[in-house]
Structure 1
Amino acid sequence: MEFRETAVCFAVDIKNSSKLNKTSLLSALEDCKKAANHLVKESLLVPFDIRGGDELIGAVNRVGLTREVMELIRENLSGSGLHYYLGVGIGYVENNETSVHTVNGSAVLNAIKARDEELKGGRYQGKEGSFFISSDHVPCDSLNSLYMIILEKKDQWTSKQQDVISLIEKHPEWTFEQAGKALGYKSPKSAVSYLLARSQYLKVRSIEAAFDELTDFYGIFLREREQSV
């Protein structure tokens, strides 16, 4: 029986890897691999794994997880001081393989193509990472534009803004007063309110929600399309 599963594939390639300390590079990739596999453990088609010493590849069957995985990769690799290319392919995995060395399908091919053809020409750039989302089955310009806006806003966040955002996301039940006191502000409520307003946090969250809604829709569309064939 032919195997064909809706999927989103992620293909990372570290920039200038030949100039980096190999032990540190592999350690950072290993940490990112473990974090990604833990995050999406219920949806893994192809567990994230290291290939060629400077690549990280994996695939999941929930297209709606696209941004969450992209964010995890960004936080882990950028946090380790690594610059990278990230190709994201939306489509299908078309063989029943769980190895990054043998898996095939349009999701995989689009991820590799996005990384190696689109990104290495510098189409989409962030401070540490370049990304591109590609598909033969659904339009991706909106996803690329939305995620670029998200990155641009987050790259502008100051350390104080990041501290506030991290705290309220960790403790969503807290009031601004509680968060501000935990961070040691003399006027806790007004300080937190000001920092969030300056960061345009609510705007970023709404754009993230729009991105997630669109990828969720794409996942449903591709699955229903496959079932109707």
Structure 2
Amino acid sequence: MQELEAKLREEERERKRMQAKAAELQTGLETNRLIFENKAIPCVPSAKRIKKKKSKPPEKVSSRSGKSKKSETPTSSSSINEELSEVLQTLQDEFGQMSFDHQQLTKLIQESPTVELKDNLECELEALVGRMEAKANQITKVRKYQAQLEKQKTEKQKRELKTTRKTLEEEGNSSSRSSGITGTTNKKDFAKPRPGEKSRKNLQLLKDMQTIQSSLQSNNLCWDY
């Protein structure tokens, strides 16, 4: 009889211990759920705000302000990527904590001494699985948005590279045409007679005529003009 009473008392202590452990775990799960709700709520509007900002029509600005906005664009994009990385890291940490809670709940269900406690723990486990699925869905959305931003960044870099290459090719062709025109002009200039060269030839011709005339006069010949 005493042995039976001792066994019942031992079972009672074990049951209370399991209930206390389950209550502690349930409190932890509730705390994690509240933290999840508080952090998840601002994340979605943040993403919406980002999309709205990107869809704003361009405003007319001066050339100086336009240049300053262009220089600020990479900083803004980098800031968005950093914010998304922080959000993703937070979501992954929360999912990891939920996975740990899932393991603990599963273990408690297996060790549960009463059917009532087991049913309660299974309800908690089912609710936890639902929150884990929602968390995984959020992680997938953030990763997808990150990939979309990275794709847009890569496409923009390709367009800029293509434009730069085209500009350099056009400048090279223009320089080649200018060199060809300059070379042709130099050849034409080289073919032109030098200034004063014709006068010198006429003067030399006149001297030659005078020399011939003097030679003829010395021979007593008459020179008619």
Give TM-score scaled by structure 2 length: 0.26
- Say which structure is richer in strand: 1
Give TM-score scaled by structure 1 length: 0.26
Which has the greater radius of gyration?
2
